[in-house]
Amino acid sequence: MTISRQDVLRVAELAYLELTPEEAELYRAQLDEILNYIGKLQQLDVSNVQPMTQMAFASVEPKTFPDVSPGETEPDLREDTLQPCHIADAVLEQAPDAAKPFFRVPKVIER
């Protein structure tokens, strides 16, 4: 057994998911099976492998680099400047509880 009921409850807490006792057991068994399968990655020797951490291919032309490997180029970043955006009202209309220009939530600060 890779994952215990205790682990499942802790992960559910981290992910902000409320689980019923039945769900906790169902997910424990399913996650256990999946994690056992995933365990096959431990068979590989990856000690000399660089992790693939990003997927940007900025400005890579296929003619010059037909097989460029992901992560070999830096992304083309735009200038970090303010752009006008007039969707605030439309966004607030989607809120379950808005008091323009704010979203309202249960009290978070006790005094």
Binding to another protein by residue 69, rule CB under 8 A? yes
Binding to another protein by residue 99, rule CB under 8 A? no
* Two structure tokens written together for 77: 């970043």
User: What single-letter DSSP state applies at residue 68?
Assistant: P
Which residues have CB under 8 Å from 54's CB, separation 6+?
70, 71, 75
Binding mask 13-52 for another protein (x = CB under 8 A): -xxxxxx---x---x--xx-xxx-xxxxxx-x-x--xxxx
Phi, psi of 99 (to 5 degrees): -125, 90
Per CB under 8 A, residues contacting another protein are 3, 7-8, 10-12, 14-19, 23, 27, 30-31, 33-35, 37-42, 44, 46, 49-62, 66-71, 75-78, 87, 90-91, 94-97, 103, 105-106, 108
